Amino acid sequence: MLKIRKANFNEFLTDIMRYNELVAPIKRDESRFEVVKDITKIDLALHTTYPIKKVFFKKKQVLLEFDKNKVTRPETHFEKKQRVVMGLKRCDLNSIKRQDLMFTKETKDPYYMEERERTILIGYHCNEPWDEYCFCESMELSDFYDLMLYDREDSYLVEIGSEKGKNFIDKYRKYFWDTEAFLTLMDKKIHTKLHLEKRDIKNLYNHPDWKKDADRCLSCAACVTLCPSCYCFNLYDEVEMGNLQKGKKIRNWASCQLQSFTKVAGGHVFRKEREDRFKHRVYHQVQWFRERNGINLCTGCGRCIRGCPTKINWVETINNMKPKQE
């Protein structure tokens, strides 16, 4: 265990920015992770409205360009600066772990992998939940980070979580001090007000209470946009009107809450009803993904509830469901 004194922390950040791209929570119109230009704008404790995923899984990304039979990949900057993302909460870090599973294990996505490989993940442990919508305590989150900061009055305790984190510490060793302090399991716990009480919901799919939430749903897709774990996307070609043989293959985020998500040739929509789309997202987050991968896709960050225009709390809906009598 190491520590870094808060009195030296801004100097440490300034040093990082000399040779790295520093990304951290910044409060503006809505809080988000941004490339840091002014270290006084950083708020490590901030639970951002928008998630970190856009850094690795771009909201809109050109995958390739074509001109007749010639196909090229856009120039990238991956060989340049290392990126340091600081201030990631445990829910954010575990969401990156889920996206790693999809983009580096199940299918190797070179665009995602290059972004991840050049990035150091530095977490910030929440001593308290951000608000009443956090429910990460229910989601069995693991330690997944290169470094983790624990706020302790005049300093941060620093836990090393990977070889990449150790190498980073070695590079900036002058800022870190050895300490006899240690962390217990309770130090890593976050006690949330909201809990998902039912771990297995496969037998609740046809429960009538889903309709109550579906009737309030606007199908606006805010929940998917704000979710740090969702990874669905569309692919399409964007061509020049004057030359249909020249254009780009583009990937952008998709949402299972939109009718168009399951629309196929002939105009058929597999999940035309709003209730079906609403249930699909919840089941993917806490049931089907776990059945396939052994962990929930959802990490309990609460963004989907916090950002919902009608504040649909699907966690409480599940908690209040009574088993149907057959």
pLDDT one-digit tens code per residue, 140-149: 999 999 999 9
Q: CB burial class (10 A; 0-12, 13-18, 19+) of residue 198?
A: middle
pLDDT of the residue at 79: 56
Q: What is the percent of the chain where pLDDT is above 70? A: 97
Q: Specify the range with the lowest mean pLDDT, choosing from 181-190, 209-218, 290-299.
A: 181-190
pLDDT of the residue at 326: 43
88/139 Cα distance (integer angstroms): 17
pLDDT of the residue at 245: 85
User: What confidence category does residue 294 fall into, taking pLDDT thresholds of 50, 70 and 90?
Assistant: very high
Contacts of 29 (CB under 8 A, 6+ apart): none
Q: Which residue has the tokens 């006084």?
A: 40
pLDDT one-digit tens code per residue, 77-129: 555 689 999 999 999 999 999 999 999 998 899 999 999 999 999 999 999 99
User: What confidence category does residue 324 fall into, taking pLDDT thresholds of 50, 70 and 90?
Assistant: low
